[in-house]
Structure 1
Amino acid sequence: MIYKFGERLTEISQEEWEKEKCPAVFLTDSNHAEETLATAGIIYESEIQIAKIGFCKIENQQECMVGTFCIPKLLDVLGSRYRMYMFVNENNVVIVDDETFSERLISRIKRKRMHQGETKERFLYNYIAEFMSRDLEILVAYERRLLRMEEDVSQDHTDTIQNRLMPIRRELLNLRSYYDEMMDLTKELEENENGLFLNDQLKYFGTLTDRADRLMSRTSHLLEYARQVKEAYQSQIDNRQNNNMQFLTVISTIFFPLTLITGWFGMNFKDMPGLENGYPAVMALSIVIIVICILIFKKKKII
């Protein structure tokens, strides 16, 4: 697909583009990438391997700029990602995408935005902004989940907290790394090392950098919040274990003197006092010891 730059992006055929030779966006897949790059006047000597893209980054070459995108799917952050190449020269933009993700983004740009692509800078702003258009909403959803978990911890409903919390922390860590990469990428665009962009249009990339920075800060805040929820959960577990240990300590303290008494009178020496009729006295002594232990524990506020 070829879209001619303008206030509104207009799809044109290759024959129409070859007649006009107007600045345009080329959307293709990896099987037709070399042919499309040649048509757009972009020389790229490395091999195009979309499956091996692992980061969002920008690489400046002599006559063009090469970008790779590795975008997490917001409904499955830990799963597969959207991967694309982006090539930019003085006139044209080429996007290589083996899925329909970029096509859907451009459709949303055409449907939602009045100024869709008067220049390649404006188009790139719209295109990259669509990556992050729903991210704040997703982060708010994470915050609500953490709030619910915090309430469960405060009410001592901790049975499933660990299983619910661990995936959230892993997803937030992935998102934070992604936003960090996007910040670096948009800063590279803003620096305009190759001079491919108009200076008065660089403000768009600065806006993208600020947005990625805010999202990363929000994600870092949520990670800190998740850590606090984990600490509160661990505190509840520790308190529960302490209560159990305290109960066992009380039981052990009560039964230790009783064990000593039964052990002493269980020896059955011939001349032991009370050997013949000492059972009631031993029972009374045991009861007295138990009462004394309980009174001491209550005074110490252990029970």
Structure 2
Amino acid sequence: MNWYAIQQTLVPMGAESPLENPSVVVLDSEELSQCPKLSGLEKVLCHTPAVRDAKVCKVEIRSNCITGTIVLPRTTKTGVRLACGYLLTSKQAILIDDTGVLQTHMKRLVKKKLFTGQSVGRFFYDILELLIDKDLYHLEEIEVQAEKLEDRILSGQLDEGSAAMTQLRKEAMAWFRYYSQLDEMACELQESENSFFSKEEKHLFHMFENRVNRLREESQLLREYCTQIQTMFQSEIDIRQNRIMKILTLVTTIFFPLSLLVGWYGMNFNGMPELSWEYGYPAVIVVSVFIVLVSLWICKKKKFW
């Protein structure tokens, strides 16, 4: 459990709770369950969201507090989804962080000495801004991967391309849903009817909403780009299959007359003069070669290849 005093900037207090200034406490779910007494918040802790079960970003406006969860479209090195919960009052903020994502941003907030103005709303806006601060770089990384995959497809390297393309498309879709949920959160915070946020703070959330909308548009373009690459990948697969079928059709067309010839002379009728003719076998060979050459010439003339 780490306490921070919200002064003109964020001031770390360690395990000591600030008495006068608005404050922030960062703890995990286990610490929250073992610490039911947090000064001034005994009646609202029951509303704290279950971070382990969180699946979407959301905000719930209540008469005495604001609660919600934030679920990022990224995972830890062990594959755990990055998620956190929050509970805000006019004077205090409780952040529930089981994966360490908020602890990292709290350290950045202290290091940058960003202006918080002794306001819980301004502090929460700064945290939200830090959460999306480097998202554009993540979207660019996905775009670079998509471009590399596109180059591989165009060069004919289609092996395992379907799995990679599906993964990229899912990732782009996850970012788009994430920004849609953040946009809904920003709208709820702007329209909150309680007295937690001032007009200036609601204006900050409006600015956050605009930035989220721009990122959502970028993720939407990325989704469409991934869809186009997947369509191109399927087209390349179809072209490859058509080429294979074309070759098989040519082989069948060329050797079908030979099969007829083999079946014809395979009947072994005594009346066939070629069976007793000493040049019968070489003649059949010549005729077979002639048929193959004529078939190839016809296919070439018809531009079958």
TM-score, normalization by structure 1? 0.89
Contact 1:37 1:43 in 2 (8 A): no
1:68 aligns with 2:69: yes
Amino acid paired to 2:61: N
After the TM superposition, which residues 123-138 of structure 1 pair with which residues of structure 2 at under 5 Å, given as runs?
A: 123-138=123-138
Contact 1:109 1:116 in 2 (8 A): no
Distance 2:49 2:37 in 1: 12
CA deviation map 1:40-74 (0-9, x unaligned): 47524347533122221111112111121222336
Over 3 Å counting, the alpha-carbon distance change for 1:116 and 1:146 in structure 2 is same
Residue in structure 2 matched with residue 4 of structure 1 by the alignment? 5
After the TM superposition, which residues 107-186 of structure 1 pair with which residues of structure 2 at under 5 Å, given as runs?
A: 107-186=107-186
Distance 1:148 1:185 in 2: 35
Determine helix, strand or coil for the equivalent of 2:153: helix
Contact 1:9 1:117 in 2 (8 A): no
Over 3 Å counting, the alpha-carbon distance change for 1:37 and 1:55 in structure 2 is farther
Amino acid paired to 1:28: L
Distance 2:22 2:73 in 1: 30
Amino acid paired to 2:199: N
Amino acid paired to 1:61: R
Amino acid paired to 2:264: W
Identity of matched residues, %: 29
Residue in structure 1 matched with residue 29 of structure 2 by the alignment? 30
Contact 2:12 2:110 in 1 (8 A): no
CA deviation map 1:258-279 (0-9, x unaligned): 1111211121212223221132
Contact 2:57 2:69 in 1 (8 A): yes
Distance 1:104 1:154 in 2: 41
Contact 2:48 2:67 in 1 (8 A): no
1:193 aligns with 2:166: no
Distance 2:123 2:150 in 1: 42
Distance 1:219 1:47 in 2: 31
Over 3 Å counting, the alpha-carbon distance change for 1:159 and 1:16 in structure 2 is closer
Give the Å deviation of 1:82.
2.6
Determine helix, strand or coil for the equivalent of 1:96: strand
Give the Å deviation of 1:23.
2.0
Over 3 Å counting, the alpha-carbon distance change for 1:101 and 1:266 in structure 2 is closer
Distance 2:23 2:119 in 1: 9
Determine helix, strand or coil for the equivalent of 2:94: strand
Determine helix, strand or coil for the equivalent of 1:94: strand
Higher mean alpha-carbon deviation, 199-208 vs 158-167, is at: 158-167
Contact 2:23 2:93 in 1 (8 A): yes
Residue in structure 2 matched with residue 287 of structure 1 by the alignment? 289
Residue in structure 2 matched with residue 58 of structure 1 by the alignment? 59
Contact 1:57 1:69 in 2 (8 A): yes
Contact 2:76 2:82 in 1 (8 A): no
Amino acid paired to 2:112: K
After the TM superposition, which residues 191-230 of structure 1 pair with which residues of structure 2 at under 5 Å, given as runs?
A: 191-230=191-230
Give the Å deviation of 1:143.
0.6
Over 3 Å counting, the alpha-carbon distance change for 1:106 and 1:246 in structure 2 is same
After the TM superposition, which residues 95-110 of structure 1 pair with which residues of structure 2 at under 5 Å, given as runs?
A: 95-110=95-110
Higher mean alpha-carbon deviation, 135-144 vs 206-215, is at: 206-215
Amino acid paired to 1:24: S
Over 3 Å counting, the alpha-carbon distance change for 1:296 and 1:26 in structure 2 is same
The alignment yields a C-alpha RMSD, in angstroms, of 2.4
Give the Å deviation of 1:16.
6.8
Give the Å deviation of 1:185.
1.0
Amino acid paired to 1:30: S
Higher mean alpha-carbon deviation, 139-148 vs 207-216, is at: 207-216
CA deviation map 1:16-54 (0-9, x unaligned): 733x3x322232333453635443475243475331222
Determine helix, strand or coil for the equivalent of 2:95: strand
Amino acid paired to 1:133: D
CA deviation map 1:141-169 (0-9, x unaligned): 11111111111111112223223222222
Q: Which runs of 5+ in 1 are unaligned?
A: none
After the TM superposition, which residues 38-57 of structure 1 pair with which residues of structure 2 at under 5 Å, given as runs?
A: 38-40=39-41, 43-46=44-47, 49-57=50-58
CA deviation map 1:66-119 (0-9, x unaligned): 12122233676x932233221112222222223433222111012124324442
Distance 1:117 1:30 in 2: 29
Distance 1:266 1:32 in 2: 89
Higher mean alpha-carbon deviation, 133-142 vs 106-115, is at: 106-115
